[in-house]
Amino acid sequence: MSVQTRPGTAEARPPAPPGSPAAPGAIRAARRESRSRRWRRDRILLAFMVPGLLYFAIFHYGALFGSVLAFLDYVPFLGLTGSRWIGLENFQRLFGDGDFWHAALNTVEISLLQLVFYFPAPLALALLLHSLTRTRIKRFVQSAVYLPHFISWVIVVALFQQMLGASGVLNGFLADNGLHTVHILGNPDAFKPMLVAQVIWKDTGWGTIIFLAALAQVDEQMYEAAAIDGAGPWRRFWHVTLPALRPVIVLLLVLRLGEILSVGFEQILLQRDAVGARAAEIIDTFVYFRGIQGGDFGFAAAAGLFKGLVGVVLVYAANKISHRLGESGVYR
């Protein structure tokens, strides 16, 4: 640990207070001394940190500490300290709860559907956008497809109702042409594909950004060299474009795997009542209805904690896998 690592700051600093240089050999004392000097030197910066640090301390670490209530028979009146410690009882109850496993199954099912049908969509759209040669058209299409990302889920669901609902545009069009109307919204069987369609509409465009950035970094000369060697468009795609995108794809897959138990909480909560819990309950909505609505705080916190721990394990595993594949993953 160096004493003055910040460049260009040593000479202009106020001189150290008297008595600070320690006797030779007293390394530990010197280090303590330098720490207090750095503390004094940086006190304004430390003051800058205060609002942000308070936020993280209270709303992240305070809440993390509050997760102990998963091990309590939590009674709001008694609080965290007054409630009885019951060990793993909440978890036992959780793992014996058929509704929880059903919610977990729904969650994983929706995640997998998104992985298969949503995940490739931004890649495909990015390739299409990248292949547009006229800059102005490309810019315009890009701006257009990014927009839905910034629209709230409440509005997205309202838009989908207006388009696909019983009295929506699609059914109006079908009825006008003497065709059968379709029952999409409010139909439990169509619910999961519907969710994926909404995610595709909202986030495909935004998802292209990272792929477009990767595509823009490919050296043009690689394409040129491949073309001179006689590679057609398909071979250039296979041997130049795809290898360039590989790290990004692996990175996004790792992140997605860690998030496998989180699928669009707001999106699903908004539409759950229309199709019922059987089709629409996911872990997050289960936590919400049992905890905040039902008041079974310890039990719901246990479900949330379980989800969080599984997420950490999955990120760790996915990261290991990406290292095996020779990619850097999220962290080393």
Of 58-97, binders to another protein (CB under 8 A) are 58-67, 69
Nearer to another protein, 117 or 223 (CB): 223
> Is residue 291 within the footprint of another protein (CB under 8 A)?
yes
- What is the smallest separation between the CB atom of 24 and another protein, expressed in angstroms? 24
The DSSP call for residue 14 is P
> Is residue 159 within the footprint of another protein (CB under 8 A)?
yes
Nearer to another protein, 27 or 228 (CB): 228
- What is the smallest separation between the CB atom of 8 and another protein, expressed in angstroms? 3
Place of tokens 């997605």: 256
Q: Which of 104, 123, 185, 196 binds another protein (CB under 8 A)?
A: 185
> Is residue 314 within the footprint of another protein (CB under 8 A)?
no
> Is residue 143 within the footprint of another protein (CB under 8 A)?
yes
Nearer to another protein, 110 or 214 (CB): 214
Nearer to another protein, 25 or 135 (CB): 135
Q: Which of 241, 307, 318, 322 binds another protein (CB under 8 A)?
A: 307
Q: Report DSSP letters for 123-155, one per residue.
A: HHHHHHHHH---HHHHHHHHHHHHGGGGS-HHH
- What is the smallest separation between the CB atom of 76 and another protein, expressed in angstroms? 8
Q: Which of 328, 202, 205 is nearest to 267 (CA)?
A: 202
- Of residues 109-128, which lie at the interface with another protein (CB under 8 A)? 125, 128
> Is residue 253 within the footprint of another protein (CB under 8 A)?
no
> Is residue 19 within the footprint of another protein (CB under 8 A)?
no
> Is residue 14 within the footprint of another protein (CB under 8 A)?
no
> Is residue 48 within the footprint of another protein (CB under 8 A)?
yes
Q: Which of 29, 75, 88, 151 binds another protein (CB under 8 A)?
A: 151
Q: Which of 26, 75, 112, 292 binds another protein (CB under 8 A)?
A: 292
> Is residue 238 within the footprint of another protein (CB under 8 A)?
no
All residues at 6 or more sequence positions from 225 whose CB lies less than 8 Å from its CB, including other chains: none
